[in-house]
Structure 1
Amino acid sequence: MPFEEFERAGARYAVQFTYALPDDAWYVELSEAVPAPAAWADIPNAKTHLPGPAFVTAVVPDEDPTREPTIHVHGDGKERAIPYEVLRWYMEKVSEEVERCRAGLIENSEGEM
């Protein structure tokens, strides 16, 4: 599954894009990036980090134009501080996905006429 990384204040974050077929929606998940398995060290071009457990998920519907995107914050019983620049970067990724999905809906509806 594709993901992008962002480093800020000594911490790495990841945004991962997955499709949830039962929801007919893309999930854009924000997490801290975790080190890749040590066994990957000898693999050329292998990622050094992978997405960890998501703590924020945007659900972006791509089949039903009446459904609005939503943001879900996952709690683990403790407060989490997300740097402003990281949250801004994440929301830019969410906005790009919303625009991409809405453009697809418009193309599909025009093709049906």
Structure 2
Amino acid sequence: MPIPHPDGDYAITTMYSVPDDAWYLELDQVSGQRTLVLAIVPDEDPGREPTVCLTPGKDDHDIPYAVMRWFMDQVDAEIRNSRGWMTLRPEVVDVIRGLRQEHLGVIADEHLPPVLAELRAAVPGADLADVMLHAFGRGPDGRIL
């Protein structure tokens, strides 16, 4: 569902591309039903940076500063939400990335005990909560957050 800008002339559509492992945020002109700006936020590979692209079109379109600022604030929030774990220590990032690739961000309750036991042996206790949260959306006790 698009997020409308308060003035009603623009909206943001957010979608996830599985093949790209990235979130796509589109700034759309509502009346013209066209995408003006596209932001791509990869969420699996720390080596890939977010990008913002102006979409080509027949007509130039002036985007009001307040609208562009609103869009970039939404992009910034998506970057923080989906890439926040990438700012952790490199060895923790490697563990999280490996778990996300192996389990695709989800783990069934019956598979959790052996994985949790391996993590407790391999990851310092201070990092266990971050690893569980960012790999599975769970706390160190296995509860879904």
Q: Normalised by the size of structure 2, how large is the TM-score?
A: 0.57
What root-mean-square deviation, in Å, do the aligned CA atoms of Structure 1 and Structure 2 show?
Answer: 2.3
Structure 1 CA distance, aligned partners of 2:65 and 2:2? 20
1:79 CA drift (Å) = 1.2
Structure 2 CA distance, aligned partners of 1:104 and 1:3? 26
1:22 partner letter: P
- Give the structure with the larger strand fraction: 1
Q: Normalised by the size of structure 1, how large is the TM-score?
A: 0.72
Indicate the residue corresponding to 1:52 in structure 2: 33
Of 23, 26, 41, the match for 2:23 = 26
Indicate the residue corresponding to 2:3 in structure 1: 4
How many residue pairs get aligned? The number is: 93
Q: Which has the higher contact order (CA 8 A, sep 6+)?
A: 1
Moved more, 74-83 or 86-95: 74-83
Structure 1 CA distance, aligned partners of 2:9 and 2:85? 32
SS of the residue corresponding to residue 61 of structure 2 reads coil
What runs of 5+ residues in structure 2 fail to find an aligned partner?
Answer: 98-130, 136-145
Percent identity over paired residues = 35
Rg comparison, structure with higher value: 2
- Give the structure with the larger helix fraction: 2
What runs of 5+ residues in structure 1 fail to find an aligned partner?
Answer: 35-50
Structure 1 CA distance, aligned partners of 2:55 and 2:83? 26
Matches within 5 A, 1:63-74: 63-74=44-55
Matches within 5 A, 1:87-98: 87-98=68-79
